[in-house]
Structure 1
Amino acid sequence: MPDPKDNHYFSQHPTSAQRMRKLFESVRAHSMSLQTSSGVFSPDAIDKGTRVLIENMIIPDSQENMNLLEIGAGYGPLTIWLHKEYNLRHHSISGNPPLPQIYASEVNDRAVWLLNRNLLANNCKDVIVLKGDFRDQIDELKAHGITFKAIFTNPPLKTGHEVMLELFQGAMDLLSPDGYIQYVHLKKLGAPGFLQKLQDLKPEWYFYILKKKGGFQVILISPIEREFEKEDYGGYF
């Protein structure tokens, strides 16, 4: 009999019956066609946390050899949004700013399969998909000298703070010196307590709550001090 734990969205090998769905979503000026399925996170619509994060993401200006990462990409809405936004800037801004290399990490086999299909359907070329537990990918990324200007995540809150701290420790170790991590956390699922744990982990870092909406907090953490304008993260106030 299948283990019920195998049907969590953060399970590596979900065993539930696969029921496909088709979504057409629009977030922050970009439309997406998405295939989803049972056994993955939020199959009926882009979840509220991911939507709030996308609406308020701070997007670094394009630079040569810049890498971006999403941890827990699911079936791909945030990664696809990033790809569309940078391609729009590349084709609409004078000088054609360079395109970043986007990475997407996902543990759930079914979600990875959907992610690859959705990247193809949305004409998102050259995204590097990291299949498997992100914690198992950290050493290989380090060995190849890969660092990230920005890391985005709607983390798997139900795995517990211990697992999430491991994910964030690995992400912190992969940041470029001027990089940052931006994430969304539901307050009732321990956002203040988890933020305090991150501050205890990196007391010399800077921590910013950029947005509070619908019970969610959008938080940015950085090894360097930063100043923000509303337009940096959508200005949804």
Structure 2
Amino acid sequence: MSEHYFSPDPAAPDKRSEHSFTIRGTRFDITSSGGVFSHDRLDKGTQVLLKYVIDPPEDGLLVDVGCGWGPIALALATASPNARVLAVDVNERARELTRENAKRARLANIEVATPEEGLAIAKEHGIAGLWSNPPVRIGKDPLHQLLLDWFQYLTGTASIVVSKNLGADSLGSWLQGQGYEVERIGSSGGFRVLDVSAPRPQSLQG
């Protein structure tokens, strides 16, 4: 596989650029760079996700898996200033940019972590809410494993966005087959937004 934004240490030049985006009604001035996902724009899938998601829980651990330069983490932290927001990415440059953009936005409740660090925190505290534009292009099997790794710690709801052309509907069916409750809450521009909840305990069903 050629290098992509999910490379841990991208070889693309670290050429910084400044941008301004309105994210869920709040304007952010951010820094981005080559070698990270959607480095010069607010990705369409992320826009669709942020259009349809409901407000996250007010507190607890909120997670952005595959944070890139940080738009989803910024949205989570702004919506829930009393929550602990965990921005996770395998890409070292993405983590650095998210850290810088959180500081620039004066959002002290954002914590940046590698996937391994983040999963350890999630295991300890549980995940009250998760928003993600996941890295579908890593391949079906790695994507399935990534989602299972995180969703096992869900105490609340995960909201993810996936392109219909990249298997959103089949992914939803697969998650249901794994025992998760899946609801499509929005669809626009070829993207589906899915809400995923852990199955209810058997004693509470029916």
Q: Size of the alignment, in residue pairs? A: 200
TM-superposed deviation, 1:142: 5.6
Indicate how the Cα distance of structure 1 residues 108 and 100 shifts in structure 2: closer, same or farther if over 3 A, else same.
Answer: same
Question: Whose Rg is larger?
Answer: 1
Aligned to 1:17: 13
Aligned to 1:33: 29
Partner AA of 2:147 in structure 1: F
Partner AA of 2:105 in structure 1: N
Mind listing any 5+ residue stretches in structure 1 that lack a counterpart? 88-98, 226-237
TM-superposed deviation, 1:74: 0.8
Alignment partner of 1:49 is 2:45: yes
Partner of residue 89 from structure 2, selected from 102, 106, 109: 106
Partner of residue 187 from structure 2, selected from 203, 212, 218: 212
SS of the aligned residue for 1:31 comes to: strand
CA deviation map 1:85-114 (0-9, x unaligned): 224xxxxxxxxxxx1111111110111111
CA deviation map 1:14-42 (0-9, x unaligned): 01122221110012211111111111100
Residue correspondence of structure 1 range 1-237 to structure 2 within 5 A: 5=2, 7-63=3-59, 66-87=60-81, 99-131=82-114, 134=115, 136-137=116-117, 140-141=120-121, 145-176=124-155, 179-202=156-179, 205-223=180-198
Contact residue 71 and residue 104 of structure 1 kept, 8 A: yes
Contact residue 158 and residue 197 of structure 2 kept, 8 A: yes
Aligned-residue Cα RMSD (Å) equals: 1.8
Mind listing any 5+ residue stretches in structure 2 that lack a counterpart? 201-206
SS of the aligned residue for 2:161 comes to: strand
CA distance in 1, matches of 2:29, 2:83: 22
Give the TM-score taking structure 1 as reference length. Answer: 0.79
Partner AA of 2:23 in structure 1: V
TM-superposed deviation, 1:224: 5.4
Contact residue 182 and residue 196 of structure 2 kept, 8 A: yes
TM-superposed deviation, 1:223: 2.6
